[in-house]
Amino acid sequence: MNKQNIKNLSIKEISIIIEGLGEKRHRKTQLLKWLYQKRVKSFYDMTNIPLALREKFQKQFSISTLLPTEKTTFSEDGSRKIVLKCEDNLLIETVLMEFEKHQTICISSQIGCALGCTFCRTGKNGFLRDLRCDEILNQIIFFKDNYIPPRKRYNIVFMGMGEPFLNTDNLFRAIEILNHLDAFALREKRITVSTIGFPDKIIEAAESDLKFGLAVSLNATTDRIRKKIMPASKNINDTLFAAQKFAELKETRTTLEYVLLKDINDSDEDALRLAKLTSGRPFKINLIPFNAWDSCNFSRPGEDRINRFIELLLPRAPAVTVRRSRGEDIGAACGQLSYQKREITDKP
C-alpha cells in the first residue's frame, strides 16, 4: 500500500482521520505539535501518543523531508543560498537572510516558473512542476532544524522560484499549517506571498481565513510596458483593484513591488504615474533596483536616477521603501534564483 504523505493533509483532513480512528480530538493537537513544532521524522518518536496509534500512523502515512545538496553559498552580507533536493531529485533554491533582530527565509512555491518575466532568471529557465504542500513546509522545517535558534523571530517570504498563485491548492494548505497555533503559529505579519497578481486568486485569498501579507509585483505603470516585461500579467487596474480589496478585507496594506529597470520603467513620467495609481490607497511601495544576472538584457538605473525617482514619488505616494536586495553576489537576490535541471547523484 502506498503511504500517504501526512504533511500534505489539511487541518480538516487530519481531524477526519483522527475521528475515523475513534481517537479523541487532542490527538490532532499532539500530532501537529510533533510534526511542526518538534519536527520529528518518525511516528515512533511521538512519545505521548499510545504506541498502538503510532503504529497505525506508521502503517498509513509517511513523514517527508528535504535534504541539502551542495555546499551552502555565503554572501558578504551574511545571506546564505541553500539548494535542497526533492524525492525526485529536482532542486529547490532557498535563501536565508540575517537581520539584527530576525531572520527571513525566502522559499519557493514551484520548481522553475512558466510565466517568463523577461527580467527574471527563474522565468528564463522555464517550469518543471509545482511544489507540494509538504515540500513547501519542509523548506521551513529545514531552516528551523539547521539555522534558526529556538526563540529567534523569523519571517517567511514566498519570493523564491515560481508564481505562488498558480499553485494555490498547495500554497493555501501550507499557509493554513503555518498559521495554526499547534503548528508554526505564524500570523500575517510574518508571512508574505509575492505574486505578479492574478486578480481572481487575490480576491479568493482576501475572502479566506488565511493570514498572510500580500506583495504584488507591479513593475510598470502602463499596461503596454507591463505586458512587455511580464507577458502573463493582467491589466494594472484589475490587479490594483484586487490588491486594494485584499488590503481592505485583511485590514492591512498591500505591498507593491517595483523593480527599477534602466530606461524601461524608471522615468519621471513613470514615477508620477506610479504616484497617481497608488495615491490614497492602502498600499506600500517597495522599490527594488534591478539585480543583474548573466546574459540578462536589463540593467540597474544609476544612483542619480533612482534618487530622482524616489524624490518624485515620495511626497505623492503612500509609504515608499527602497529594498537593496541581499545575496546579490551569490545569485540569491530577487529574480536571481534558478533551478538546476541536472540530477544529483552525489550524497548530501
Residue of 113, 220, 287, 288 that binds ligand SF4 (CB under 6 A): 113
Q: Is position 120 an interface residue for ligand SF4 (rule: CB under 6 A)? A: yes
Angle 146-150-156 (CA atoms, 0-180°, nearest 5)?
70
Please list, in sequence order, all residues whose beta carbon lies within 8 angstroms of the beta carbon of residue 188, skipping any fewer than 6 positions away: 211, 212, 213, 250, 252
Rounded to an integer, what distance in angstroms lies between the CA atom of residue 333 and that of residue 337?
7
Residue placing its CB nearer to ligand SF4 in the complex, 179 or 221: 221
Give the Cα separation of 233 and 3 in Å (integer).
Answer: 39
Q: Is 115 in the site for ligand SF4 (CB under 6 A)?
A: yes
Among residues 23, 76, 93, 296, the one annotated as catalytic is 93
User: Residue 156 contacts by C-beta under 8 Å, 6 or more apart in sequence?
Assistant: 104, 105, 107, 140, 178, 186, 190, 191, 192
Q: Which is nearer to ligand SF4, 122 or 325 (CB)?
A: 122
Q: Which stretch binds ligand SF4 (CB under 6 A): 19-27, 111-119, 136-144, 304-312?
A: 111-119
- Count the neighbouring beta carbons within 10 Å of the beta carbon of residue 88: 9
Q: Min. distance of Cβ 28 from ligand SF4 in angstroms?
A: 35
Q: Closest distance between ligand SF4 and the C-beta of residue 335, in Å?
A: 6
Stretch that binds ligand SF4, among 57-65, 91-99, 114-122, 324-332 (CB under 6 A): 114-122
Question: Which residue, 92 or 115, has its beta carbon nearer to ligand SF4?
Answer: 115
Q: Which of 84, 123, 171, 247 binds ligand SF4 (CB under 6 A)?
A: 123
The catalytic position among 86, 113, 120, 334 is 334
- State the binding string over 173-212 for ligand SF4 (x if CB under 6 A, else -): -----------------------x----------------
Q: At what angle do helices 236-250 and 268-278 cross, to 10 degrees?
A: 40
Report the site for ligand SF4 in 224-263 (rule: CB under 6 A).
none
User: Applying CB under 6 A, which part among 10-18, 120-128, 269-277, 324-332 lies near ligand SF4?
Assistant: 120-128
Inter-residue contact 116 to 232 (CB < 8 Å): yes
Instruction: Identify each DSSP E strand in 179-297 by its residue range.
Output: 191-195, 213-217, 254-260, 283-289
Segment contacting ligand SF4 (CB under 6 A): 73-81, 99-107, 117-125, 174-182?
117-125
Residue facing ligand SF4 at closest CB distance: 123
Angle at CA of residue 65, ends 63 and 68, nearest 5°: 170
Fill in the amino acid letter for 101. Answer: K
Q: CA dihedral in degrees (164, 165, 167, 173; nearest 10)?
A: 90
Quick check: 117 binds ligand SF4 (CB under 6 A)? yes
Q: In the annotation, is 188 catalytic?
A: no
Q: Are the C-beta atoms of residues 184 and 140 closer than 8 Å to each other?
A: yes
Candidates 44-52, 116-124, 268-276, 311-319: pick the segment binding ligand SF4 (CB under 6 A): 116-124
Going by C-beta distance under 8 Å and a sequence separation of 6 or more, which residues neighbour residue 2?
A: none
Toward ligand SF4, which CB reaches closer, 68 or 116? 116
136 contacts ligand SF4 (rule: CB under 6 A): no
Is 100 noted as a catalytic residue in this protein?
Answer: no
Q: Give 123 or 289: the residue with its C-beta nearer to ligand SF4.
A: 123
298 CB-side CA count, 13 A: 24
Catalytic residues: 93, 334
- Residues at the interface with ligand SF4 (CB under 6 A): 113, 115-117, 120, 122-123, 162-163, 196, 335
